[in-house]
Every structure is written in C-alpha cells, then in structure tokens.
Structure 1
Amino acid sequence: MTKYNSQETIFKITSTASTLFISKGYDNTSIQDIINGAGMSKGAIYHHFESKEDILQAILHSHGEDIVKTMHSYLKDNQSLTAKEKLRGVLRKNWGYIESHQLEDMMLSQNKNAPFILGALQVSLKRSAPLIADIMREGESDGSLSVHYPEECAAVFFLLINFWCAPILIEGSINDLEKRLKFLQHLMETMGADIVEDEMIDHILRTYTHVEHDQGGQM
C-alpha cells in the first residue's frame, strides 16, 4: 500500500515514472530506472511505494481524482442546467474533447498492456461512474432523463466508451469505430440517457484519425 508521507516526493516519483512508461514502456521500465530518473535513493522510493505496480496505481488514481475534481467544478458552475445538459457538458469537458495528456500518451504507448487497462478500468468504475449515476438519478427528478438502472447504465457507458470504443485497445478501422460510437449513442438513448452528441462522436473520430495517421495507419 502506498505511504502518503510526502506529496512532493510522491509527485516527483510518479511524474518520473509516467515519463519513463511513455518513453520506454511499462514492461521495459525498472524500479532502478525510476530511481535514477527521480534522482532518489532506493530507500526513498520504497518508503512510498512497494513496487512498480504500486506506482502505476498511484498514477491512475491521481488521474481519476483529477477527472472527478473537474466534473465537480463543472457541475458547481452549472447548477441551473438540467441533468441531461450537465451530462453532455461533463462529457465534452472530460471525454468527448480529450486533448493529449499523460494518461492518454501512456495508453497509446502501452497499447494492450494489461496493468494499464485493468487499472484504468477499475478507476473509472470506482470514481467516475458513481458521479454519472447520481446525475442520471437527478434526471429522473427534472424530467430530462429516464434511466431505470443508473448505476448499471453509467458502468456500461464507461466500459464501452473507454475500452470498446478505443481503437488502441480494440483493433479496427475508423469506420469500425464510427459504428461502435453510433451504437453507443443508440444504446444510451434506448436506456433513457440521450447524452452522446453527434459533435462528440465527430471529435473522437477526428482525434483517432490523427492518431492513426501519426502511427502510420496502424491502430
């Protein structure tokens, strides 16, 4: 278990590890690489983390906390919106309009690395999905949504948008991705949550078209 005794030291370790995971790959990065990159002793690293996997979990946890904080900030500033409008706004801010940052860079560099996939899945289901479910319940009250199973609906949405609709994890062409996104849009509408906008789909397709081009056509 991570020992949070010095936030500054922990941040330096996780930042160094993130950079190394992107440049060298998770499997090819050793604890010694992180020690050297952070300019710390082995004892200092192990005082806060028990293993490389522990460092990865801390990185994913921090990313999840950042997303939730951003969501809470958006909701606080837009309390007058309906639940449906809030959800669409949250998606624009956090997923539909994702700009490149460390977690996405790591996911791209790791492709199908199991620790990243599992860790990101656990964080999204534990931290983000419950907040989305709460907004869906709010939609029942204001009449903008009609979701009978908000917890399950939110979990399914995250599973599909973050993994099934991620070409870096599920092989396929941009056309395949478009079909998946259109299906997700239809599925959410069927479940009473019309929150996946055409503009969001278009942005995701443009983003991954750019990624595919940068990778020489290989997803």
Structure 2
Amino acid sequence: MGRNRHPEQTLEKIVDVSAELFAKKGYEQTSIQDILDATGLSKGGLYHHFKSKEEILEAVMQKRVQYVNGRFHNIIRNTEETNAKEKLKRILYQLASDMETHSLDKAITARIDPYFVVNGLQSCINQDAPIICEIIEEGIRDGSLQTTQPAFCAEVFLMLLNYWANPILFARNYAETESRLHYLRFVMCQLGLDVMDDNLIAAMLKAYD
C-alpha cells in the first residue's frame, strides 16, 4: 500500500465502517479482520491510526457524542412552537425518534466504559441542562409550565431520562423500561414539567427495542 496522502479521510473511513459493523454484528462479534476487509486496508494501514479495536470503539463513541450534541443544538435552533412546553416536547420527540442517535447503543452495551459514562453525565449537567433550563424558564414566563427551581428541574429530568431510565446501562427489558418511563412521566408531572406524553414514550421504546 502506497503512502496515504489523506490520513484524515482514512481515519474517518475506519471509524464510519467500524460503526456500521458494530451496529450490525455487535462489538464483540466484529473482528479486526472484518474491519480490514470492509475498509480494504492492510494491518499496517489500520494500526497506523489505531492500536486496537478498543481504540476504534472509543473513536466511534466520541463521534456519536459529537453527532448527538450537534443534532441536539440543531433541533433547538430550528424548532418553533406556540409555547415553550410544546417546543420542549417537540425537541424531545425529535431526539427520541432519531435512529442514528440510538444505532450503536445495543452494539456497545458490553463495552460501556465507566469513564465515558461519567463524562457523558458531566456533559449532560454542565452543557445540556442549562439549555433545557432556558426553555423551562421561557415556559414559566409564557405560562405553559409551572415549576420551581428550573435549573434543578432540568438537571433531574435529564439525569433520570438519559441514565436512570436508559435500559442500555442496566440491561433492562422492554417492560422494565416502559415502567420506568411512565414513572418518570409521573415524577416530572409532580415537578411541574409535564412534557412526557404517550408519543414520546412510544418513540423512546421503539428506539430502545
């Protein structure tokens, strides 16, 4: 194999192809040879960019995080509704319905890195919650939401939605996940954040199933 004049493109190809293989076959069932066959690279060409399959998985997960964050901000910028409550409901539904966001969840279940989970939790609280808080505050002003401590409410909601109710982290079945999502809906209603409806729960269950 000659000198690679476009190493960035090769790296991206490895990550994209590996993501497809992990989603289709599962991480454990995907071999380095599978990746070599799909990319057409030699072992030397692959190991020039990644030392192991674990490093490839880390790159795949990081790219997924970047995609989800970009999708999140793009939806917020382009979503308009009659009030903040309906806006937040629409944002949540669009995120839950995005199959690409969830495409790797089951494939990487066996290789979830606690460090990666903690980083995601920190990002959830430090970056995503303040954005949701702004929408909640908007809802308080326009009268569509009645809650106190919007910053805390946003943090609690995202932590429970993304982590406590997430079956991927706890290997829960469909029924267990459905029960938790309905209970989360009840809890958020008690806190004045009534933004989970049957459509959102159905979309989340479809994504997880």
Same fold (TM over 0.5): yes
Q: Identity percentage over the alignment?
A: 30
Where in structure 2 are the equivalents of 1:1-219 lying within 5 Å? Answer: 6-78=7-79, 82-95=83-96, 97-99=97-99, 101=100, 104-110=102-108, 112-115=109-112, 119=116, 122-123=119-120, 125-126=122-123, 130-141=127-138, 143=140, 144-145=144-145, 146=147, 148=149, 150=151, 153-167=153-167, 169-174=170-175, 176-205=176-205, 211=209
- Structure 2 unaligned spans of 5+: 1-5
State which structure, 1 or 2, has the greater radius of gyration over its C-alpha atoms.
Answer: 2
Answer whether contact 1:164 1:170 (CA < 8 A) is retained: no
Distance 2:82 2:57 in 1: 36
C-alpha offsets along residues 4-44 of structure 1, whole Å, 9 cap, x if unaligned?
x8442222101221233234432243434323321113333
Distance 1:17 1:127 in 2: 26
Distance 2:188 2:77 in 1: 25
Kindly tell me: are residues 24 and 134 of structure 1, through their superposed partners in 2, closer, same or farther at Cα, counting changes over 3 Å? closer
Distance 2:167 2:65 in 1: 21
Answer whether contact 1:178 1:205 (CA < 8 A) is retained: yes
Equivalenced residue count is 199
Distance 2:160 2:94 in 1: 18
Kindly tell me: are residues 142 and 26 of structure 1, through their superposed partners in 2, closer, same or farther at Cα, counting changes over 3 Å? closer
Displacement after TM superposition at 1:127 (Å): 6.0
Answer whether contact 1:35 1:42 (CA < 8 A) is retained: yes
Distance 1:141 1:30 in 2: 49
Answer whether contact 1:31 1:52 (CA < 8 A) is retained: yes
TM norm structure 2? 0.72
